[in-house]
Amino acid sequence: MARRRTSTFEALIEIAALLPWWAGVGLAILAYVLLHPIAAADIAMPTQAAKMGEFAGRQLYKTFATIGQYLLPLAFLVGAAVSALRRRKRGRLADEAARNPAADALSGMNWQEFEMLVGEAFRRRGYAVAETGGGGADGGVDLLLTKDGEKFLVQCKQWRAFKVGVNVVRELYGVMAARGAAGGYVVTSGQFTQEAKDFASGRNITLMDGAALKSLLGSVQAKPVVANTAPAATKREPAGTISPACPKCGGAMVKRVARQGSNAGNEFWGCSQFPACKGVRGL
């Protein structure tokens, strides 16, 4: 479907909406501070005909500044308001999805809401998230994540009736190589085919279904829940420690101590959903 043409004013609003709300307010103030002195300046009428061209140029510049000193701040302020509303909506979607135990809590969203939810989940894990607008519900990379100088790509698939197949995972893998991304995520409210899982295995691609996404959201709630049935080999993390996400299911991880093998006595990150999930990470 063809993209809708937008005016310059609408484009400025969208740019500001992609930024934190306070950045939009700052741009509005800066635009007015820079343009107002130009708009208020007096331009003397030249006495020589040779300088009429210069006079006309300055007059045109002043006209643009006179309009821009109000138009640009307005666009940036509207964008800041949109950014604040989106942030509030993302937080509400994330909290409701984490609290709602119903299996169809995610599939009841439209694709825009699903992308907002996924972005908020990664923001709460400490990633900087840019919504790239992958061309619609099924097109391209939807989110660009950055953390510790590394870049990660995310495709969101709000598919209710079909499993996400291997072609989607292959597409993301190719884009990762082209953009030099350290890793990638394919997130769906549904499930993945076995072929997609096999292709992702051994590559730096994490497949997250609806259960894994809800687990990720639940692991970053403001009030952590400590299970009473934690294995004896699990160590409680010090206050302020942030556990990584499980590489297999995306859920929270806890510190454990290896009991046997060559690493006996050493600490490692183990998935909190063990034995249902056996994801591990080194410390």
Give the whole-angstrom CA distance, residue 171 versus residue 24. 34
DSSP string, 60-89: HHHHHHHHHHHHHHHHHHHHHHHHHHHHHH
Q: Residue 189 has which token pair?
A: 């409210």
- pLDDT at site 107: 64
The per-residue pLDDT for range 88-107, each reduced to its tens digit, is 887 777 777 766 655 556 66
Lowest mean pLDDT among 12-26, 91-105, 106-120, 259-273: 91-105
Give the whole-angstrom CA distance, residue 183 versus residue 151. 7
Lowest mean pLDDT among 65-79, 87-101, 168-182: 87-101
With beta carbons less than 8 A apart as the criterion, state whether 283 and 256 touch: no
Q: Indicate the burial class of 269 (C-beta count within 10 angstroms; 0-12, 13-18, 19 or more).
A: buried
Cα 14 → chain centroid: 16
pLDDT bracket for residue 31 (50, 70, 90):
very high
Classify the C-alpha dihedral 202-206-208-214 as positive or negative: positive
Q: Residue 140 has which token pair?
A: 């391209």
The per-residue pLDDT for range 242-262, each reduced to its tens digit, is 556 676 766 677 777 776 666
- pLDDT at site 228: 38
Lowest mean pLDDT among 127-141, 167-181, 193-207: 127-141
pLDDT at 36 over 80: yes
pLDDT bracket for residue 6 (50, 70, 90):
low
pLDDT bracket for residue 151 (50, 70, 90):
very high
The type of residue at 207 is L
Classify the C-alpha dihedral 52-53-54-56 as positive or negative: positive
The per-residue pLDDT for range 181-229, each reduced to its tens digit, is 999 999 988 889 999 999 998 888 999 887 787 777 765 443 333 333 3
- pLDDT at site 21: 86
pLDDT at 263 over 90: no
Classify the C-alpha dihedral 236-237-239-244 as positive or negative: negative
**216 closest CA partner among 110, 119, 140:** 119
pTM: 0.56
Give the whole-angstrom CA distance, residue 110 versus residue 278. 32
- pLDDT at site 221: 46
* Higher per-residue pLDDT: 178 or 235: 178
DSSP string, 144-189: EEEETTEEEEEEEE--SSS-B-HHHHHHHHHHHHHHT-SEEEEEES
Give residue limits of the domains in the chain: 8-99, 111-218, 224-283
pLDDT bracket for residue 71 (50, 70, 90):
very high
Give the whole-angstrom CA distance, residue 205 versus residue 228. 32
With beta carbons less than 8 A apart as the criterion, state whether 75 and 16 touch: yes
- pLDDT at site 52: 79
What value does the mean pLDDT of the chain take?
A: 78
Cα angle: 166, vertex 111, 130; to 5 degrees: 85
Greatest mean pLDDT range, 4-13, 75-84, 206-215: 75-84
Lowest mean pLDDT among 18-27, 67-76, 87-96, 227-236: 227-236
At the topology level, CATH places domain 111-218 in Trna Endonuclease; Chain: A, domain 1 (3.40.1350)
Q: Residue 188 has which token pair?
A: 């769906």
Give the whole-angstrom CA distance, residue 155 versus residue 111. 11
